[in-house]
Structure 1
Amino acid sequence: MHLFVDISSHGFGHLAITAPALDALAEMAPDLRLTVRSGLPGGKLEQRIRAPFTLIAGSSDFGYVMIDAMRIDLAATAAAYRQAHADWPARVAREATFLAALAPDIVLSNVAYLPLAGASRAGIPALSLCSLNWADLFAHFFGHEDWAAPIHADMLAAYRGARTFLRVTPGMPMRDLDNREDIGPIAAIGRRHDLGLKGDRAVLIALGGIAHRLPVDDWPRLPGVRWLVAADWQCAHPAAVSLESFGLTFTDLLCSVDAVVTKPGYGTFTEAACNGTPVLYQRRDDWPEQDCLIGWLQRNATCLEVPADCLLDGALHESLNTLWRRRSPPRPAATGAAEAAARLARLSFAEDSLRELPFPVRLAASVQGRQPKRLSSSPVSHTGRPMMPV
């Protein structure tokens, strides 16, 4: 199976969702050939995706133009979307040409819609995988604008053109997508390590992949608490420790600390819950996805919301003590990666079976909806591999 995967670089959450599914698929399909397109650094991708892959550096989406991890630049985002859709049919045609030349068996997107539109035009089956989609967020922020309707229609058509939108738990409702299919939470599971802090409690500050520095240098010192912060902050606080100094993966570090300070985001929330790490979070301003994430976290993890001013002045002593006094709920099972991998494997199996049928039978299957609605006139490569059990 040759799988082309497009991973959004709007933060690290899209990678956190996609990587476990790819690794699970690699275990099911030893013949997996993986091509990944992303604007994320190659080293970051390699930290998360254990399966071998070929990287195509580049982004097919931008999501939202961010001021920092908490705030969207709505004016710049609106301008970017209007430019991206100024000649949408031509962009889709170029994407279809690119995909036809690459000749993957399946396209998987998290969560750009251009590769889905291109795959549909090229006659390549495609799936999407995420807790959100850009169409719903676009409608939330720009649905009232007189220029927005055609752009929103392009987005929805692309998402609806996928065979299935695998909506991970927790996820936005996505009521406009009748091809959605729910799967369980996706989260990497780490190993707990002794951080060598001589009895001090470790609090990880992790605000995702979009730059947002907290003024930790000015925070008061809390007895018995060490702050784990990014090295590039060059933090001068006497209780601050570079999180990179431990030489651990993010998930192992998250599993090893006593709490994490973060914002609502899929990857950190699900990994904290599934690894049993308490969470202090600051609610984001007007971010539609956060309600489903926060509701799920409150049911599945030890967590507490803190106001923004507490993260500015470091007044976290009371909140941390409250958090650590609470009883931890049972950890949720991270079943979504295996479910997503099985769905991809079944699709590959079905496509191989159809390719081996005589053309009249294959055509009848297409009429019954088991083939893509739009077939390419270009021949589809066939590896001749045996059918894959699932």
Structure 2
Amino acid sequence: MSGHGFGHLAQTAPVLAALAQQTPLEALTLCCALPARKIRYKLTLPHIHDSEPRDVGLIQTDPMQPDLPATAAALDALHADWPQKLAREREKMAAFRPDVVIANIPYLTLEAAQGLGIPTVALASLSWDRIVAGYYDVAEPRVAAWLQRMRVAYGGVDLALAPHPAMADAPFPHVVEIPPILDAAQPDRAGLRAQLGISPEETRPLILVSLGGIPIDALPFDLLRRERRGLFLIDHPDAPHEENLYNVGRLGDWPFGAVIGSVDGVVGKPGYGMSVECAAHGIPFLYARRFHFADEASICAWLAQHGRAREITLEQFFQADWWADFEAVLAQPTPPRPAHDGAQEAARRIRCFLQRE
């Protein structure tokens, strides 16, 4: 799995859990640069964790902005000794002898598996060639070389599963669209409030404020404290836990999908996981766009159809100046909930694919 934020893990872990329910898994090796504790938070299946990075993704200065010089340097380093990295990956893979490689979506791993004749499945709502091409001059030789390497690997995938809302024009040859993938945990509004120490008599809405899994220096704690019409659950390690402010860290092992389904609103950015969780649970969602990440347009279009969602500016987000927008979303009719059994469908597709191999 790519280690760019937590979105790739959040998509993959429910699929692996559903696959384990449908067919016995003899062994599972998880290759991802994310910390082991973050993986265990999402994936309870027994597994071996190989933390060596398999791709770059995007290096971020914060959740809203990529560090393009650092990303380019990392891509140059990854591709500089590609044959050696590919040989090392194949050596590891041959020792494990997998029946299938499921990638979300490191192209090094896919190319290594293809060279060994191992069946490959891409689980992907985006592809790194499309993302990278949106930031760099594709006519530049080194950029063209990056993209060519990605597209060769993606073009050799045996099966690609694209959970809605996925980018169009994926580079994979055999794409099957599936419903959104959600966290399997169930919402518990009363339980969440109780764990945070919120009185049962408290009627103000509890709103999650989060920009996802990539660190940010600060969020507008003081401005939120002054907004007395709401309670604010803040996804930041330094968030206060006092007055009308609550720190997500106090929830311990609560699955993040269950947190989203248990609050009265979410304010954040339109990443895959947060968007589909809000829509599936009918949670009002205010989002500030990045405008440069290539999968954002498809997610926002999907939210307009399936979610109770409204765009705000980044300035509004950091000024905590969005209460009128929140009330406007509350007044919207709730659209029919989208299908959200993508994990079960992905597992079924993978199982059937392996039975044919």
Quote the Cα distance in structure 2 between the aligned partners of 1:125 and 1:221.
56
2:41 is the alignment partner of 1:47 = yes
1:98 aligns with 2:98: no
TM-score by length of 2: 0.92
Query: Contact conserved, 1:217 with 1:235, CA < 8 A, in 2?
Result: no
Residue in 2 aligned with 1:180?
175
Preserved CA contact (<8 Å) 2:281 2:337: yes
Q: 1:311 to 1:157 in 2, by over 3 A?
A: same
Q: Distance in 2 between matches of 1:129 and 1:44?
A: 20
Rounded to whole Å, the distance in 2 between the matches of 1:110 and 1:327 is 35
1:209 matches 2:187: no
Match of 2:165 in 1: 170
> Is residue 88 from structure 1 mapped to residue 88 from structure 2 by the alignment?
no
1:193 alignment partner AA: R
2:189 alignment counterpart:
193
**Match for residue 314 of structure 2 among 308, 316, 322:** 308
Conserved? CA contact 2:221–2:239, under 8 Å: no
Aligned to 1:153: 148
Q: 2:275 aligns with which of 269, 272, 288?
A: 269
Q: Secondary structure at the match of 1:141?
A: coil
Say which is worse superposed, 335-344 or 231-240, in terms of deviation: 231-240
| Aligned residue in 2 for 1:358 | none
Give the corresponding residue for 1:295: 301
Change (3 A) 1:176 1:162: closer
Q: Aligned partner of 1:154: which letter? A: R
Paired position in structure 2 for 1:77: 71
Q: Distance in 2 between matches of 1:154 and 1:174?
A: 18
Q: Which moved more, 1:295-304 or 1:224-233?
A: 224-233
The alignment's TM-score, normalised by the length of structure 1, stands at 0.84
In 1: Cα distance, 2:311 partner to 2:353 partner: 41
State how far apart, in whole Å, the 1-side matches of 2:242 and 2:304 are: 31
SS in 2 for 1:94: helix
Q: CA deviation at 1:243?
A: 1.7
User: Displacement of 1:63 after TM fit?
Assistant: 0.2
Query: Amino acid of the residue matched to residue 225 of structure 1?
Result: G
Partner of 2:226: 221
In 1, distance between residues paired with 2:301 and 2:282? 17
* Alpha-carbon distance between aligned partners in 2 of 1:246 and 1:328, rounded to the nearest angstrom: 28
Match of 2:258 in 1: 252
Whether the aligned pair in 2 keeps the contact of 1:21 and 1:340 (CA below 8 Å) is: yes
Q: Counterparts of 1:324-363 in structure 2 under 5 Å?
A: 324-351=330-357
Given the superposition, is the C-alpha separation of residues 231 and 314 from structure 1 closer, same or farther in structure 2, using an over 3 Å criterion? Answer: closer
Q: Distance in 1 between matches of 2:92 and 2:306?
A: 42
Counterparts of 1:87 and 1:44, CA distance in 2: 30
CA distance 1:321–1:40, change in 2 (3 Å): same
Tell me the distance in 2 between the aligned counterparts of 1:167 and 1:302.
Answer: 23
Q: Deviations over 1:140-198 (max 9, x none)?
A: 22213232222211110111111112111111113433222222211124222211432
Ranges in structure 2 where 5+ consecutive residues have no aligned partner: none
Greater Cα radius of gyration, structure 1 or 2: 1
1:318 matched to 2:313:
no
The letter for the 2-side match of 1:304 is R
* Structure 1: gaps spanning 5 or more residues: 1-6, 352-390
- The correspondence for 1:132, drawn from 126, 129, 139, is 126
- How many residues get paired? 345
User: Deviation at 1:39?
Assistant: 1.7
CA distance in 2, matches of 1:154, 1:329: 42
Which residue, out of 284, 292, 306, partners 1:286?
292
**SS of alignment partner, residue 141 of structure 2:** coil
Cα deviation 1:201-248 (Å, max 9, x = unaligned): 111012111012322223462233011113512337742111232443
1:308 Cα deviation from its structure 2 partner: 1.0
Moved more, 227-236 or 261-270: 227-236
Whether contact under 8 Å (2:157, 2:172) holds in the other structure is no
State whether residues 251 and 271 of structure 1, in contact with CA within 8 Å, keep that contact through their aligned partners in structure 2: yes
